[in-house]
Amino acid sequence: MTQSSSSTGQGSLPNIVAALLSLFIPGLGQLVQGRFLAAIVWFLLGCALWILTLGWFGWVINILSCVGAARWKR
């Protein structure tokens, strides 16, 4: 039996874990996936948006970061 490609692509367990991490801290899921530049960008965007909007729209970056981590294919 061969290993399916779904274990490393969209919807795989590592991507689900990364998505959940990014939901709480933007960029943390990308960091776990080994995408250091993307992690830094998401984290800085998240910090900036949380500060600039006084917390009103910071959650948008969290959700977008979460979706980006979940949909990433190796």
In the predicted structure, residue 3 carries a pLDDT above the cut 60: no
**4-37, pLDDT tens digit by residue?**
555 666 668 999 999 999 999 999 999 999 999 9
Per-residue confidence (pLDDT) for residue 7, from 0 to 100:
61
User: Is the full-model pTM beyond 0.85?
Assistant: no
Percent of the chain surpassing pLDDT 70: 85
The rounded Cα 14 to chain-centroid distance in angstroms is 11
Measured CA angle at 68 (ends 39, 41), to 5 deg? 25
CA 25, 31, 35 angle in degrees (round to 5)?
130
Q: Please report which helix (H) or strand (E) contains residue 44, including its range.
A: helix 36-52
